[in-house]
Structure 1
């Protein structure tokens, strides 16, 4: 196969790359930011799409973040591709913090007193008893996730909209200058050809 690796990656190496990218988190974040800025669409649509992805990342339903982000983006007039990129706000580094914060906030808002033990949660997960997990774990995480998700989404939208508008304006200016330079060059070439033909 043309693009196949010479050596197959082990499961451990794939996990390590998911947690810590090959070229560091700063480079991956920079790449992600450039991908968002270069999307086609209005500043509102792109910022709203990313905000929808960030919002979905605060829900405890792993595996449904992209679907949820796309649905929210569609409802608020956001860019669907930007919403998928926005879900990268939830990653192996941020999930522990997100889950702990949403769980504690949800428990506080719902008035829950005692937290379920780690052994109890582990046993329910091993036996796939998700109906038993809803009341003590998923419900408070959903409530807390909705609250913190809205806060994170609004913050993301406010930060991104202005940046995207400025980037797009600068890009349009650069393209216009390039087009003018190209037209000038073509005009000079034409006048040179005319003068050569005249002689």
Structure 2
């Protein structure tokens, strides 16, 4: 097999690598960043796609982030691949933080009082019974309001950072290619 180990990993090694990967935890993020930087689109299109994906990652519509990101990127003429890649912001490590942040922000925006706020136990009971009508007012409505505000702020920030990063990356790449082309063109001339 092409990517298989020569020596099979032992059980203790497998357990250790499950909890602490050999290549580290930041490798997937670095990989996604490089994939986004190397997309062959304008810096504006890539940044718009990343902003659309970032915004959709803040919504409570779990399972529909990619679809929402694609629709937003298409409407805003952004890069569709960048939009889908940026939805990785919502992952099992960040979803609880994003969910609590959007819920509390939405409660503040809508003026939900502490007596009306939902406790974790009540939320678990509602989710267990999947009662949408009971979930809408105390949970989903505040989460959507909070997601609109926090998602927009995160999208604007990610647009600015991505536009600068992609523009700088493409400028450095053009300079390297130009330098290599000039070396080749000067090296082929007879003296």
Mark yes or no: TM-score above 0.5.
Answer: yes
- SS of residue in 1 equivalent to 2:56: helix
* 1:134-153 paired onto structure 2 within 5 Å: 134-153=136-155
Partner in structure 2 of residue 112 of structure 1: 112
TM-score by length of 1: 0.81
Partner in structure 2 of residue 128 of structure 1: 130
Give the helix-richer structure, 1 or 2.
1
* 1:8-47 paired onto structure 2 within 5 Å: 23-47=23-47
Q: Shift in Å at residue 180 of structure 1?
A: 2.6
Q: After the TM superposition, which of the residue ranges 47-56 and 123-132 deviates more from structure 2?
A: 123-132
Residue 97 (str. 1) matches residue 84 (str. 2): no
- SS of residue in 2 equivalent to 1:93: coil
Question: Structure 2 stretches of 5 or more lacking a match?
Answer: 9-13
* 1:148-187 paired onto structure 2 within 5 Å: 148-185=150-187, 187=188
Bigger Cα Rg: 1
Q: After the TM superposition, which of the residue ranges 116-125 and 72-81 deviates more from structure 2?
A: 116-125
CA distance in structure 2 between the partners assigned to 1:24 and 1:149 by the alignment: 28
Q: Shift in Å at residue 137 of structure 1?
A: 0.5
CA distance in structure 1 between the partners assigned to 2:168 and 2:180 by the alignment: 18
What is the aligned length?
180
**Runs of 4+ with >6 A deviation:** 3-7
TM-score by length of 2: 0.84
Question: Structure 1 stretches of 5 or more lacking a match?
Answer: 8-12, 193-199
